[in-house]
Amino acid sequence: MHQFAARHPQAYGLIVTFLGVAFFFPDALVVRLIAADTMTIAVWRGLAAAVVTLGFVALFHRSAWTGFRSLLTPAALAMIALQGTGSIFFLGSLQNTSVANSLLILATAPFLAALFSWAFLRETIDKATALAIVAVFCGVVMIASGSMGGGTLFGDFLSFLNAMTIAGYYVVLRKARDVNLIVAIACGYLLTSLIALPIAPMEPFDATQWGLVLLSGGVILAGGVGLLQIGPRYLPAPEVSMITMLEIVVGPLLVWWILGENPGQATVIGGTVILVAIFAHAAWQLRNLASRQG
């Protein structure tokens, strides 16, 4: 595998990134199928993801653990906080709005990251990115307008908070690109459980629900995040963003197809605006990248 990555880095990056995103395709559907209180799900989902991730590090990637002091660096502490709260926002949004709204609003994350990078890392925002940011947020406003009076606006807001944590996640990874933060991410999973525990009714699960919780936390979350830590090292950011957008499209379609959860006209229109803006921006960046390399 290492030889393949060295000889064909772009192909390796594409495969790993696609696999990482594919892990998340059924995540929202699985959470819906658990049919339980989301904070109870958060406790066990976070614990399952932490156990699997730390077990992987102990068995196959011991170099990632350099001692407890490594968890006290600003990057590690930020990653723990962002991962821990982001999962709470994600599950809370699924409880209070549609899957389509929740995932489409998450599509603002790369553009929020651009704004955060401009504010905190002093990176510039080109005109194309600025236009895409405006278009994406117009799409979010359209989605939110369809939630007015429908009781889902709070869920939309939680999804936007989740997008902000993911954007912060991107910025931290960019700032500390040479640091392996997989153990900090595992601690973030544990933080999710600790945050949710005091407010979770801890209702009992049946065998099917336990299986789905373990699938969501131990396989989808741990596996998907683990793979997505690798792929972007081998690919330009535009290619990564285009691949990750597949979850935004496939996730709601799975829930619509299997559970019949219709996203509504406002979400379809706003989501179309968001997806067109993202793909147009990624295509423009890839074209510029190709012309510079040529």
Question: For residue 140, what pLDDT band results from cuts at 50, 70 and 90?
Answer: confident
pTM: 0.82
Measured CA to CA, the distance from residue 226 to residue 218 in angstroms comes to 11
- Domain with 149, as residue range(s), is 2-293
Question: For residue 2, what pLDDT band results from cuts at 50, 70 and 90?
Answer: low
More confident residue, 233 or 63: 63
CB atoms within 10 A of CB 290: 10
Largest CA distance in the chain: 60
Pinpoint the alpha helices (H) of 74-152: 74-96, 99-106, 109-120, 127-147
More confident residue, 210 or 70: 210
Measured CA to CA, the distance from residue 189 to residue 118 in angstroms comes to 28
Show the tokens assigned to 11: 């192909």
Q: Is the pLDDT of residue 204 over 90?
A: yes
CB atoms within 10 A of CB 218: 20
Q: Is the pLDDT of residue 145 over 80?
A: no
Mean pLDDT of the chain: 83
Task: Give how many domains the chain has, as a whole number.
Answer: 1
CA R_g for the chain: 19
pLDDT at site 292: 64
Q: Which residues contact 124 (CB under 8 A, 6 or more apart)?
A: 118
Task: Supply the DSSP symbol for 68.
Answer: G
Measured CA to CA, the distance from residue 208 to residue 229 in angstroms comes to 30
Using a 10 angstrom Cβ sphere, with 0-12 exposed, 13-18 middle and 19 or more buried, the burial of residue 70 is middle
At 17-42, the pLDDT tens digits run: 888 888 988 999 999 999 999 999 99
